[in-house]
Amino acid sequence: MSKGSDSSMPQNTANMRVVEGSYAVAHAVMCCRPDVISAYPITPQTHIVENLSQLVADGELDSAFLTVDSEFSALSVLVGSTACGGRGYSSTTSQGLALMYEVLYNVSGMRLPIVMTVANRAIGAPLNIWNDQQDSVGARDVGWLQIYMENVQEAVDATLQAYKIAEDPEIQTPIMVCMDGFILTHVYEPVELLDKEKAREFLPDFKPASILDPNNPLTFGAFADPTTFTEFRYQQFAAHQKALEKIEQVARDFERAFGRYYGGLVDSYYAEDAEVVLVTMGSIIGTIKDAIDEMRAEGIKVGLVKVRCYRPFPAAALRKALSGAKVIAVVEKDVSIGNEAGLVTDLKASFYNSDIRTPIIGFVAGLGGRDITIKDIRKMVEKALAAEKGIECEFEFLDLRKEIL
């Protein structure tokens, strides 16, 4: 996307319905025809699985819906069912994702292509149920693919894309579809729901590379000693590298089938001639686009690069998208305590051995659900413009309430 064009908007408004984001995602999951759904309720993802349980109860979805005692159990159930050849789905958030941590590694290490919606929420302590992205960004190294959603329509469409990516024979890797909790899960907005038959044409039935079968015994998650462990990890690493191309390919395939495109790995908005380029991911993109429109009208050359795929990290795509920027400002809803934050650190690392020497500054904003306003975005742009003459502060928390420190 460039210069304000938007191919992500539904083209057939006659098929649009005003629904809650969680229902829209549940409907998309139904169109993906999972054999097993296993999840545990936790705010703000609960409405997704509530809607799925209703679809199963009403006979609209032919899936085994399994209720369990915890998020650890929810994902463990899918380890078994997916290894037996069933398409699996789960959703979680925050402390629930943390409780899954051991199983996250098992799923990726066993190359089980599970799709999981993560309704991004702050992680305690202190306890907070509002949105930031600390939960999934904190799980960036567990071997799952991660894509981040700008709006509900993208979350719907990315769910279908996610299965096609994860189940590809060359990828065979689980994927998190990350959408901002409450901001996207609980909003009511016009959405073009997926057509079941078109979804079936786009996503074939699951054909696992290997399954647990008494007639053809295999071992999943075997013990690996030092002579083989590295090779297991290398195969996961190689699959992520192949996924860079596959994610873009599937996004284009989806565009041809459904007429909507969000970028595969990254997308841009007025970035081509921008002096300051903001880099971010998630629902804040909508507010940033509004701010850019205002500032462009005032003659301020500011643009946006949207990181849609965070894992694998799209280093080459970002270098290309940001090659003309004079200053880069990274805005993110997470913090890596003891360092900076995930996205800004990864971006700096990807530029280190390149010819790009553009100043990069980072902002932490929106933690625990704090609003990020157009005024805040203008403030970050002002700081970025000043950084062109020299960086005074490389990384900062936006709008700290110093009176309560």
DSSP string of 349-396, one letter each residue: HHHHTSS----EEEEE--GGG----HHHHHHHHHHHHHHTT--S-SEE
Domain boundary among 237, 258, 279: 258
DSSP 206: P
- Looking at the fold, whether 344 and 371 belong to one and the same domain comes out as yes
State the pLDDT at residue 5: 44
- The strand pairing partners of 269, in sequence order, are 304
The number of helices, as runs of H, and strands, as runs of E, in the chain is 13, 15
Please state, in angstroms and as integers, the Cα–Cα distance from residue 208 to each residue in 35, 97, 132, following that order. Answer: 13, 25, 34
Domain membership of residue 285 as a residue range: 266-404
pTM beyond 0.85: the answer is yes
Is the same domain home to 377 and 394? yes
- 162 and 147 in contact (C-beta within 8 Å)? yes
Q: Tokens for 255, please give them.
A: 């565009």
Task: State the amino acid at position 280 in one-letter form.
Answer: T
At residue 219, the pLDDT reads 87
Compute the CA torsion angle 18, 266, 179, 63 (nearest 10 deg). 80
Report the CATH number at residue 47: 3.40.50.970
Given 193, 225, 258, the domain boundary residue is 258
Give the largest CA-CA distance in the chain: 70
Q: Are residues 135 and 185 in the same domain?
A: yes
In a domain, 6, yes or no: no
What string of pLDDT tens digits covers the 405 residues of the chain?
A: 455 445 666 666 777 999 999 999 999 999 999 999 999 999 999 999 999 999 999 999 999 999 999 999 999 999 999 999 999 999 999 999 999 999 999 999 999 999 999 999 999 999 999 999 999 999 999 999 999 999 999 999 999 999 999 999 999 999 999 999 999 999 999 999 999 999 999 999 999 989 999 999 988 888 999 999 999 999 999 999 999 999 999 999 999 999 999 999 999 999 999 999 999 999 999 999 999 999 999 999 999 999 999 999 999 999 999 999 999 999 999 999 999 999 999 999 999 999 999 999 999 999 999 999 999 999 999 999 999 889 999 999 999 999 999
Per DSSP, the residues of 265-311 read SEEEES-TT-SEEEEE-STHHHHHHHHHHHHHHTT--EEEEEE-EEE
pLDDT confidence of residue 12:
65
Amino acid, res. 354? S
